[in-house]
């Protein structure tokens, strides 16, 4: 529509030219809607997803490891699988688990628990039960990697990342809620991921911390857990490097020492302390190499898009104030970008160039330009945090800290399960976000038909992602592969 002075001037044909329109039918207008079909599924993709969870033994693992007390902890495996299935379908609160009880769900699945039952189960968790669930999550990931091409190339080169994020909460009843570095009341979600140049990241370690926790708190333990799981995901004879990437909040001796004990190399941003500034000042003008970004990069401090920078490196010994055995030799790789004067007038250049510097410490053997490019890839973990917050971590549903910690663990299981399903569906969705995978593979309506004690799902004709869905269904619900 075209408007002028708050007056509608009619449709603007230039806007809709060449664009397909979706309009309600005038020949057969919709005049009624009735919720009365017991054989429909709103999320038929849950069938192959739960089948994949069964193949990796999620239910059995939870039954063997979890020891949640009283009748609320009975059938722990079924309840864990139910919560994960709800999260996969898009649930981000306890009440949303009601999605497991609609239409023909009871015909397809044996246990469809009420949201109140699942909430009571989570509220019975203690810190020890959360650690048990952590073990379930890591073992499930390892089994998923055996069932699906989840991390191709991990034996040759593995990229481990760690970072934390604040999940906003409201009210005073949430245990552990506080104000952290973002000045927002919330709880701190701390995760470790692993990816390869060919594969999207999966989550290998996770913690929920109080909102006021410093980023580095418990980081060495998470590094150890992350790298231990990464090594279990690799083949026994894998010799390729494992690179741990992190930002400046995690630059410290404990984190670097934990990585070195696990035989990993590091690439960690450093703070601009006087020692770092002194080291940068020793770099000669002829040592800088110009790099150009394939696409412009937004620089937050200056609020500008930049397309070029310069990089250089110098030998550097980290933690030089500590005893000799705790000092770590490596390199300081520095990237500098022009510090543009916002008050500059066109045609009046400055007398000399000014720069802003970004430095990171690395023990890798990559050349300067490749090391800088690889380090900037650490930003991928921000996408994982955004993915979680767009899914199950949109809320932390309980006032109990332990229940919310369990919720985070189960959200990670759902994330990795969704990522494995995308890998099984073919290359088209192998690096897609959780929201895209949910929209294309999971939230697909279907009608249930029964014959000869078996069920058949009738899905929409013309579904654009039919081939991917069929590929996933064949891998998870088809007959097992014959032994070689």
SS (H, E, C) 142-160: HHHHHHCCCCCCCCCCEEE
Percent of the chain with pLDDT over 70: 89
pLDDT at 421: 97
User: What angle, 0 to 180 degrees and rounded to 10, lies between the N-to-C axes of helices 76-88 and 58-65?
Assistant: 130
Pair 235, 151: CB distance under 8 Å: no
Burial of 263 per CB tally in 10 Å (0-12, 13-18, 19+): exposed
Pair 462, 37: CB distance under 8 Å: no
Phi and psi at 352, nearest 5°, equal -150, 155
Pair 418, 437: CB distance under 8 Å: yes
pLDDT at 60: 97
Q: Is residue 119 part of a domain?
A: no
pLDDT at 353: 63
pLDDT at 373: 92
CA distances from 107 to 13, 447, 474 (A): 49, 11, 20
Q: Is residue 220 part of a domain?
A: no
C-alpha closest to that of 252 among 318, 302, 161, 317: 318
Q: Can you tell me the distance from the alpha carbon of 106 to that of 315, in angstroms, rounded to the nearest whole number?
A: 64
Domain range for residue 326?
253-342+349-363
Pair 58, 140: CB distance under 8 Å: yes
Beta strand pairing call for 242-246 and 265-269: parallel
In this structure, what DSSP letter does residue 212 have?
A: T
Provide the residue-wise pLDDT of the chain in tens; the chain has 484 residues.
Answer: 555 444 545 555 554 555 557 788 888 988 899 999 999 999 999 999 999 999 999 999 999 999 999 999 999 999 999 999 999 999 999 999 999 999 999 999 988 899 999 999 999 999 999 999 999 999 999 999 999 999 999 999 999 999 999 999 988 889 999 998 888 999 999 999 999 999 999 999 999 999 999 999 999 999 999 999 999 999 998 889 999 999 999 999 999 999 999 999 999 999 999 999 999 999 998 999 988 776 666 766 666 666 778 899 999 999 999 999 999 999 999 998 876 655 555 555 555 567 889 999 999 999 999 999 999 999 999 999 999 999 999 999 999 999 999 999 999 999 999 999 999 999 999 999 999 999 999 999 999 999 888 999 999 999 999 999 999 999 999 876 555 4
Q: Is residue 477 part of a domain?
A: no
pLDDT in tens, 360-399: 999 999 999 999 999 999 999 999 999 999 999 999 999 9
**How crowded is residue 39: how many other Cβ atoms within 10 Å of its Cβ?**
14
Pair 443, 43: CB distance under 8 Å: yes
Phi and psi at 371, nearest 5°, equal -60, -40
Give every CB contact of residue 97 below 8 A, 6+ residues apart in sequence.
Answer: 82, 83, 86, 91, 113, 114, 115, 118
Give every CB contact of residue 190 below 8 A, 6+ residues apart in sequence.
Answer: 162, 163, 164, 206, 207, 208, 209, 218, 219, 222
pLDDT at 327: 94
Q: Is residue 201 part of a domain?
A: no
Q: Number of folded domains in the chain?
A: 1
Q: What's the start-to-end Cα distance of the chain, in Å?
A: 64
pLDDT at 474: 95
Q: Is the pTM of this model over 0.75?
A: yes
Q: Is residue 314 part of a domain?
A: yes
Q: Can you tell me the distance from the alpha carbon of 251 to that of 246, in angstroms, rounded to the nearest whole number?
A: 8
Q: Is residue 312 part of a domain?
A: yes
Pair 305, 297: CB distance under 8 Å: yes
pLDDT in tens, 190-220: 999 999 999 999 999 999 999 999 999 999 9
DSSP for 300-312? TTTTEEEEEEEEE
**How crowded is residue 395: how many other Cβ atoms within 10 Å of its Cβ?**
19
Q: Is residue 115 part of a domain?
A: no
pLDDT at 290: 86
Q: Is residue 462 part of a domain?
A: no
Phi-psi region of 346 (alpha: psi -120 to 50; beta: other; left: phi over 0): beta
């Amino acid at each position: 529509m075209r408007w002028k002075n708050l007056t509608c001037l009619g449709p603007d044909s230039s806007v809709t030219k060449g664009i397909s329109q979706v309009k309600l039918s005038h020949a057969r207008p919709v005049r009624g809607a009735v919720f009365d079909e017991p054989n429909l599924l709103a999320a038929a993709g849950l069938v192959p997803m739960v089948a994949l969870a069964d193949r990796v033994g999620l239910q059995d693992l939870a039954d063997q490891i979890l020891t949640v007390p009283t009748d609320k902890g009975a059938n722990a495996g079924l309840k864990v699988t139910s919560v994960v299935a709800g999260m996969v379908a898009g649930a981000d609160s306890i009440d949303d688990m009601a999605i497991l009880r609609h239409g023909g769900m009871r015909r397809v699945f044996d246990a469809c628990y009420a949201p109140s039952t699942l909430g009571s189960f989570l509220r019975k968790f203690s810190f020890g039960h959360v650690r048990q669930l952590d073990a379930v999550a890591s073992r499930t990931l390892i089994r998923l990697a055996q069932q699906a091409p989840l991390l191709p190339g991990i034996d040759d080169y593995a990229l481990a990342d760690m970072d934390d994020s604040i999940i906003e909460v409201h009210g005073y009843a949430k245990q552990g809620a506080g104000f952290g570095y973002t000045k927002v009341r919330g709880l701190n979600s701390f995760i470790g991921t692993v990816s390869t140049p060919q594969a999207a990241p999966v989550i290998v370690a996770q913690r929920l911390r109080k909102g006021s926790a410093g980023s580095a708190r418990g980081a060495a333990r998470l590094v150890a857990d992350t790298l231990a799981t990464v090594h279990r995901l690799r083949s026994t004879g894998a010799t390729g490097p494992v690179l741990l990437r992190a930002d400046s909040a995690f630059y410290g001796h404990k984190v670097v020492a934990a990585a070195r004990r696990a035989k990993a190399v590091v690439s960690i941003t450093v703070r601009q302390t006087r020692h770092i500034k002194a080291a940068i000042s020793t770099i000669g003008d002829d040592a800088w190499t110009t790099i150009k970004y394939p696409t412009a990069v937004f620089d937050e401090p200056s609020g500008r898009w930049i397309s070029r920078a310069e990089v250089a490196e110098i030998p550097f010994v980290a933690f030089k104030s500590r005893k000799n055995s705790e000092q770590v030799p490596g390199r300081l790789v520095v990237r500098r970008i022009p510090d543009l004067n916002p008050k500059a007038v066109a045609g009046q250049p400055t007398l000399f160039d000014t720069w802003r510097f970004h430095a990171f410490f690395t023990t890798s053997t990559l050349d300067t330009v490749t090391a800088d490019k690889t380090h900037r890839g650490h930003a991928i973990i921000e996408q994982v945090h955004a993915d979680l917050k767009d899914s199950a971590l949109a809320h932390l549903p309980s006032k109990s800290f332990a229940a919310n910690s369990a919720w985070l663990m189960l959200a990670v299981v759902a994330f990795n399960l969704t990522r494995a399903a995308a890998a099984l569906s073919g290359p088209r969705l192998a690096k897609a976000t959780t929201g895209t995978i949910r929209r294309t593979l999971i939230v697909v309506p279907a009608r249930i038909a029964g014959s000869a004690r078996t069920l058949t799902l009738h899905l929409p004709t013309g579904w654009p992602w039919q081939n991917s869905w069929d590929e996933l269904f064949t891998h998870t619900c088809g007959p097992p592969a014959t032994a070689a």
